[in-house]
Every structure is written in C-alpha cells, then in structure tokens.
Chains A and B, each alone.
Chain A
C-alpha cells in the first residue's frame, strides 16, 4: 500500500474531520457569545489576559477608553515609582514654561522593567500616532527584571510580540483563535495555580495589609486634585506597596530595551525623555549604575534627566523598597512628594523644551544643580496630627529609658537620614493593619531614640577620636567609648539577607554592654538595639 493510499484510508480522514469539526464548533460558539466591543477588554477573549499582568491589561484598556473621548499626545511610563507622577500638574507646568500643549496620561505599570516598557510603548505607538511625548520614569531596579513578576510574561508573550511584528505560529494562532485564547488563559488556572499569579496575589495581599487611607487624614494637608476630563491617573491610595524585590544582574533584555525605545522614537518621530525618579536615600551603587544608564541613553539620543542632586523631604515618600540581592533602595512618592516632583518636573521639562535642550542630549540642563524642594505642609513625622501630639506628650512625660538630654551613638556607616527613618516609621504606624505591626509605645520609643541618636559625623570627632572609634570597632573595649563621652549605643541590624551589623559582632555577649531594649524597624525590615555602656 502506497503512502497516499494510506492517507486517504478512513482513519486519517475521519480523525482530521472529527478534529476540525470539534475545533470549529468550539471556535464558533465562543465567537457567538463574544460580548460587545465596549466590554471587550473584560471578556475571556482579551488576548492580554494570558499574560496575567493586570497593570498592563488595565492601563492599556484605560488608554483605549481615554483616546475615544480626547486626544492624548503624552504618556508617562515606568514602574510603580512613576505611578505617582501627576500628569495634570506636569502638563500644566510644561505648558506655562514652553507654551506647548500636552495632554498626558499616566500609564506606569507596577513592577514593569525596561523590556515591558519598550513593549508597552511599542503597542501604543503602533495604533496611536498622536502620541508625541513620552516621559519614562526609571530607577536602578528598572533594568533588573525579576523572574517572579508577571511583567515578564507580558513582554515575552508571543501574541504581544506578534503584534509588534515578530511573527510566530503561536502568536498568529493566538491572534486568530478565540478558542485558543480562552483555553490558554483559563485552563492553567483550572489546573495548576500559577506561580506568577500567586506571586502577584501575594504582593497584592501584602500591600493590602498596609491599607492606606486618604492622605488628608494622615498628617498632610496636601491632597491631589485631578482633571475631570482625564481622571485616569489614580495614585494607589488603597494600597501600600512594601515588598522585597529580588534583583540579580542587569537583564540584557532590559538594557537593550533602550535601543528599541530609541529606534521607535526615531521611527515614529516621538520625543522620549528618561527621568530618574528621585529616591529618599540615594546609594552609591544605584547612582553609579544609573550614570551608566544615562550615558548609554544619551549615546542613543535619548535625553536622560538626572535627579541625584534633587532632594525631597523624607515625608515626600511613603515607603522604602529594598532589593534582596543588590541592596538598591527605592521609594514611592507620597501624595505630597508627587505634587512637589510633578510640579518641578513639568517646569523643568518645559524650560528644557523652550531652550531647545531636547535635541541636545548632552546639555547641562539634563544634570540639574543641587536643589531642595520644600514641602507644602507641616511636618508631623508621618503621624496624624493627633498621634503627633500624643508622641510629643509621650516623649516629654512617659519616656523613661534614659534622660532625653543623653546622646546616643549610632555607629552605622550608612548614616541613614534621621528624619527619613522617623517619617517612614510614622507613616507605617498610621497605615498598619490589624493586628498592628508595632505598638504605639514601641513606635514612640523608637521615634524618641532616633531623635536622640547621633552618627559619628554628627559628633564631630577629631582625627584622634576617630582613630579611637576605629580601635573600639576592632576591640569592643567599652572604656574607649566612655573616654569619648558616650554612654549609650544604638545598633542597627540589617535583614538576614544583608547580614552586616553596624555594631561590631559580639557586642551582645560582651559583659561591658547591657542591652536595654530591642525594636523592630518594620519599614526596612531591620532591628535596632539599645545598649548601655557599663
């Protein structure tokens, strides 16, 4: 029997017929029950659902909706650090400085690394030639994809890549078959609880544990107002993102995303500005890395606005996110920080536009001089006015661990900003869920101790005294500290994945030191111990 005779025998033909009949009838059924265009984004056939990357699904749907009622010509992209940029304020200040009219929308995506941003920009520019101006907020972590995050499945999705012109059979099938979309989206959820979904859910529940109420109730008078016409930028007031990101090495995909964005910008004649979103405690590692990013971006004709000279008050931020591997710390802007920075950014970009700096990526305008932004509200260390008053009373009347006039040495070489430490603790205290992470007394004790602690640089030691301090670090001899006039020590202990201790090891067991107390410092997952020097 020849092959062609075999193929036309009954079994292969019947097999193919049954297969085609089954698949076609399922495909037709799904197409028949497909909801109307208006709710398309929420239906089971939305091809983006397979990525399970909720921020992209929501934001791109928001964008489609917004473009139906108004002409959007500017978008803000980036990860969660850019979510808190206010597009209304930015475009208003930009217009005042440059006379150009922008209509911006914030499309920042939580957890998005550079490769996801490149994909997002690609998808938007493909269908919306009106978009001419893109502000891309970056931080060091932008270039370190975390494999746990669903954003990777967005940027790597065969359908998304197919939409961007990278052909694949899988992408083509997914584009043309609603049956495949529905199956691929829902079957895994029916069978194996997807790790990526679980991770996202963990993050969501983590942030919900720290539920955050309206800022006006939390010690700040500043409240964001939004344009009625484009109320799509909603700062995440219902959530408090405080999770550890696992960063490893810069991802090549994220690094090359700059090439892709630069090529897109040139091909579509779109202005893309990279903005370093400020952080409360800039660290050398992140700053050095961002300098490399800036240099690479400028080589590819992308203006990069460096903000490491820009200082915002600690209360401009509402949290700190510390990576587990590289130790980058970044912060999300609080509402007040959002106002301050968006105002400054709009003004600065407008000025840059009026001075023609967009075409000169090496202009000194892209590296602003040192300046400090002033908060438009009264400082309450992140506490509500009532709690702040209670704290002041507690400090004066109840605190009895040691006299208030005592100065405590904190030998930490990091010398984290005292005000930042206090405000982060205050903000967390106000937003902690039930059960509370820390009691009021613990928080007030720690706030008081922070107010009394002094770093070595603040004690203005002479070179000889500094040598004595080094000798103490090596020997742990308490008489050295006594000789320096120090009676108490506040020791910072970093998390388990950062085992470094700021006080010399062995202090706890040393007979010359008595531990008076031990406190969790939840905002940075650290602990502090207070020792009396005997």
Chain B
C-alpha cells in the first residue's frame, strides 16, 4: 500500500475510527496490529523479518541494561546482528556482484552466486533506529522498554515504518504510555495541513518534476546540451527533496491524527547558509543519528590522544567518515561513495575556513553575504546530487557537460533548439512552488495561513486540491514511487 494511495487513506481512516473508540493500552495493540497488517500488505516475509528482529532486540536491550561485561557483549552482538541483517538484505547484491566480477577476472565461474532478491522495506531505517536504541540503553540515556507491545510498536509503527523519521525511543515511547484522545480542531488543522502540504510536495512537485526529467539524462548525459544538463539537475534536486519532504510531511500528519508526534525531518534545506546548516535541515533525524553515533564518537576518540596530529585529524577524519557512512547507508556503490566523500570534503573545507574566519551570528551578517553563502552551498549541494543519482562514468560526463566551455560554446554557436518549452517552464514553476512552500515554512512556521480568514484558507485548500487532481491526471500513468521507499 503506497501512502499516497486511496487504499492507504481508507486503511488509516478505518484504523482511526477504531482507535478513538478504544482504551489506552488497546490503542497500542490496535496500532501494532495495523502496522503488521500494513507490512504484510507489502510482503508477508517483511513482517516475519521485522518480528524476528524485534524479539531479538527486545531481549538484547534487556541484557544490555543488566550491565557488566555480558551487557557489553550483548551490545556488540545486538549491533552486529542488526548490521548483518542490513548487509545481508541490502548490500549482499553489491558484494556478490563485486565478487562475481573478481572471479570473472580470474576466469572462474561467474554464476556462482545469487543475491537475495527481496529487501524488507524500511529495513535501513529500522536498523539505524534500533542500533541507536541499543547504544542509548547501554549509555543509560534511556531504560529498556518493558512493555513488549510498546517496543514492537516503536519498531514498526506503520506511518513511519517505510522511510522514517528515525525516532529516538525517549521521544516516541512516552507518547504510548497514555491514552490518546481527539483534542480539538487545532490538532486536525495542523495535521491535515501537514498531509496536504506533503501530498502537494510529492504528487504535484516531485512526481511532475520526475516525469519531466528525460529518462536518459543521468544515463547518457552526452546526448544533452549544457543548459539542459543544468536545468534537469536542478529539477532532480527539487524532485528528490520534495519527494522525501513530502513523504515525511504526510506521515507526520497521519501520525498526528493518532495523537503521536513524529520528529521533523526537513526544514527548508536549500535555504541553508553553510553545509553544517544544510545537514541540520536535510533528513534531520538521520543527520542527528550520524552526529551522535559516528561523528561525535570519532571526534572524541581522536581528541582523547591530545596530540597535534590527532587534533588535525579530528578536523578532517570525522566529517569524511560520517559522510561515507551516510553514503553507505544510502547504498554501497562507488558513485554513492563519491557523493559521501564530496560532502565530507565540503564539511572539512567549511571547518578549515571557519577556523580562520569565525562565523558571525546571522543577525550581524550582511544580507548579500548571507545570500552569497546560500547560493554557494546550494550549488555545491546540487552538484553533488549527480553522483547520488548517476553511475561514475555518467557522473564525469555530466560534470564535464556542465563545466566544459566548449560544450557551452557549441550550444550557443549552433543556434540550438530553444530550451524554453512547456517542460522547462513548468519545471521552473514547480521549483518556484517548492521555494514558496519552504519560505512559508521557514524557519519553523509549519501551518501556513493559520491566521488567515476562513475563505482564504478554503481557497488555498481548493487550490492545493485542484493542483493535486491536475497532477494525478497529467501523470497519465503510474506515478514514480518514493525514492527513499527502497531503503
């Protein structure tokens, strides 16, 4: 069941009706049941995998909480088990293909291996969430969840099981301890607004942009002129952002209807003035996870040595290592490693620059300086989306196409076909709409038009509804799935 489908809406509505008729503890059981039904609607095997991992992690967390050397052993075993599950289902294909290639190089049989063909949906999100939980239990940041139903629900809560947000147990589980009741129209207003924003971002902006982008532009960029490469790269950057931000907004809204608040994941990232700020605004829950469980431990471990070398290394290694882990989480491939490495280098460069030129508070910065920083960060982030999307050879071709003066000259000299057409104009409008939504939201206004008169609100909602209907009809075919749905 795709979360923008009518089936998901009907499913949610049915669960909601039952939910508010039940007492507190039964509400959790209902959500747990609904979550497993939701998983089984994808594939019954997914439910089985998640059930096994949930039982395992529940037991391991309690073992860790007991402390001592057995606790530490349990932590290592638990983390290893989750990582192995992730590696097996998610990355085995890559490793086997590399092994196969190596065998082939040495003239050995190439068909020795076969990769598992199915990946439990959302497993990457599940794994990082539960690993964080195990560490937090070990560090006594939180106590292990006693109620198995609450813990199981924390693991597979259906609005967020597909693609996050990655929740910390201390934020999520306390919300399950009391009965949730329908509060007031503000709750409905806020959550419907989130859902509507999310659907507009996904169906109107992201899907329309994805459909506008020529299918071969990231496979055979040489066939495209430099201005086209630029336009479609921008379109991809906004399609990707709105796809994931739209998803997050929808699931936060749906969860809010159940009285459970999920963490924010995006906050106008393309308006960031530094790379650090970008990662605090893009996929926030993953960024925080990376900060807490990779970046800070790596930095602390280097600084512990108190040598000049380790100090210098602490400037360079943790950002690169963190971004490489992030890349690996997104997928093990060489082009993804380039994406991660590039972002690592951006962060290192920024840190080195800030060491010499400490940043002023935003209020003291000049407007043009803030604007220039935003543009620079935006352009470099967009450039890095090329290896995120394209294989390595195509990435090089894409960058050459973007920066080669000869290509630009040849485009301008050969009286090219106009690049202003319905696809590029509508893509520009959609990008503008994305910026406008960000602007409304920036820095933290989540429910735009809240104070507006009722008629304005009604007209705005209608405009959104018609845009959604227009987009669905204009797709004329099955819309693309969420990009992060396959993680």
The interface of chain A, by Cβ under 8 A from chain B, is 1, 3, 5-6, 9-11, 14-15, 17-19, 22, 180, 183-184, 187-188, 190-192, 194-195
**In the complex, what distance in Å separates the CA atom of A11 from the CA atom of B190?**
13
Given contacts A11-B457, A187-B476, contact A22 B182 (CB under 8 A): no
A187 and B474 contact, CB distance less than 8 A: yes
**In the complex, what distance in Å separates the CA atom of A11 from the CA atom of B470?**
22
B455 and A14 contact, CB distance less than 8 A: yes
Given contacts A187-B474, A192-B212, contact A10 B426 (CB under 8 A): no
Given contacts A187-B474, A190-B422, A191-B208, contact A9 B455 (CB under 8 A): no
Q: Which of A9, A15, A184, A194 has the most CB of B within 10 A?
A: A15
Q: Which residues of B contact A190 (CB under 8 A)?
A: 422, 474
Q: Which residues of A contact B474 (CB under 8 A)?
A: 187-188, 190-192
A19 and B457 contact, CB distance less than 8 A: no
Give chain A's interface secondary structure class.
Answer: helix
A14 and B185 contact, CB distance less than 8 A: no
Q: A184 — nearest CB in chain B belongs to which residue?
A: B473
Q: B458 — nearest CB in chain A belongs to which residue?
A: A14
A289 to chain B, nearest CB (A): 29
Given contacts A3-B182, A14-B455, contact A188 B461 (CB under 8 A): no
A22 and B458 contact, CB distance less than 8 A: no
Q: Which one of B189, B423, B459 contacts A18 once the chains associate, using CB atoms below 8 Å?
A: B459
The interface of chain B, by Cβ under 8 A from chain A, is 182, 184-185, 188-189, 208, 211-212, 422-423, 426, 454-455, 457-459, 461-462, 465-466, 469-470, 473-477
B454 and A11 contact, CB distance less than 8 A: yes
- 27 CB contacts below 8 A, A to B, read A1-B185, A5-B185, A6-B184, A6-B188, A9-B185, A10-B455, A10-B458, A11-B461, A14-B454, A14-B457, A18-B462, A22-B462, A183-B469, A184-B476, A187-B476, A188-B474, A188-B476, A188-B477, A190-B474, A191-B211, A191-B212, A191-B426, A191-B476, A192-B212, A194-B476, A194-B477, A195-B477
Q: Which one of B185, B211, B212, B458 contacts A15 once the chains associate, using CB atoms below 8 Å?
A: B458
Q: Which of A17, A180, A190, A194 has the most CB of B within 10 A?
A: A190
**In the complex, what distance in Å separates the CA atom of A10 from the CA atom of B469?**
23
Q: Which residues of B contact A183 (CB under 8 A)?
A: 469-470, 473
Q: A14-B454, A190-B474, A192-B475 are in contact. List 20 more A-B contacts (CB 8 A).
A: A5-B185, A9-B454, A11-B454, A14-B455, A14-B457, A15-B457, A15-B458, A15-B462, A18-B459, A19-B462, A19-B465, A183-B469, A184-B476, A187-B476, A188-B476, A188-B477, A191-B208, A191-B211, A191-B212, A191-B422
Q: Which residues of A contact B473 (CB under 8 A)?
A: 180, 183-184, 187-188
**In the complex, what distance in Å separates the CA atom of A11 from the CA atom of B457?**
7
**In the complex, what distance in Å separates the CA atom of A3 from the CA atom of B185?**
8
A167 to chain B, nearest CB (A): 15
Q: Which residues of B contact A187 (CB under 8 A)?
A: 470, 473-474, 476
Q: B211 — nearest CB in chain A belongs to which residue?
A: A192
**In the complex, what distance in Å separates the CA atom of A268 from the CA atom of B424?**
53
**In the complex, what distance in Å separates the CA atom of A19 from the CA atom of B459?**
9
B208 and A15 contact, CB distance less than 8 A: no
**In the complex, what distance in Å separates the CA atom of A212 from the CA atom of B470?**
42
Q: Which residues of B contact A17 (CB under 8 A)?
A: 458
